[in-house]
Amino acid sequence: MAERPLTDWDSGLCDCFEDASTCCYGFWCAPCLACTVSGRFGENNCLPLCDYCGPGIMVYFGIPVCVPPAALSMRAALRNRYDIKGSLCKDIAVSCFCSWCSWCQMHRELKERKKTPTVINIQPQVFVSPQPAPVMVMPVNPAPVYFTNPPGVIMTSR
C-alpha cells in the first residue's frame, strides 16, 4: 500500500491574522474554542475540560502534571488523520508552551478541511423498460362489417 505524502499545517502556529475570528473566539472563551475543536474532530465536546480540571485534581493527590493531555492527544490525532508533518516531541512542546495557539491552529485546520470541495462524478442513467412499447397493427384485409337492427327497430328498403 502506498503511503500518502505528508503535508504542512494549513496555517502556522501564530497565524492569528489569517483567521482573526478564531483567535478572538479563543481569546474570549478558550475553553469554548477547545470544546468546539474536539466536537468537530469527532471526539467528546467536553474532552478539553480535562486540561482544566485534571491538573487541579492531580495536584491535590500529589501527582505533578505538566502536559495538557487533551491538547496533546487532539493535536497528535489531527496530525495523524490528515497526514500533517510533525513529531510527538513537537506536539508535546506546543501543547505545553503554546496551548491556546495550538487550539487555534487546530480550529483553523479543521475549518479549512471542511471547505475542501467534494467532487462527485454523475454518470448518465439509462432506463430500460421491461415491457415493449405498444404497437398498433392494421390488418391487410379488413373483415366485412355487418349491421344488425337494434331490438324493436324494423328497417325496410324501398
For the chain, the domains span 16-115
Residues 77-87: what's their mean pLDDT?
A: 92
**What pLDDT is stored for residue 86 in this prediction?**
92
State the Cα–Cα distance between residues 57 and 141, nearest whole angstrom: 103
Residues 55-73: what's their mean pLDDT?
A: 77
Contact at 8 Å (CB) between 78 and 91?
A: no
Residues 68-96: what's their mean pLDDT?
A: 91
Q: Which residues pair with 7 in a beta bridge?
A: 84
State the Cα–Cα distance between residues 14 and 101, nearest whole angstrom: 6
**Dihedral through CA 38, CA 30, CA 104, CA 17, nearest 10?**
150
State the Cα–Cα distance between residues 111 and 127, nearest whole angstrom: 41
Q: Helices 69-81 and 49-60 meet at what angle, rounded to 10? A: 140
Is 0.85 surpassed by the pTM of this model?
no
Which phi and psi angles does 70 have, rounded to 5°? -70, -45
State the Cα–Cα distance between residues 67 and 88, nearest whole angstrom: 12
- Residue 2 CA to chain centroid, in angstroms? 24
pLDDT at 116 over 60: no
**What pLDDT is stored for residue 132 in this prediction?**
67
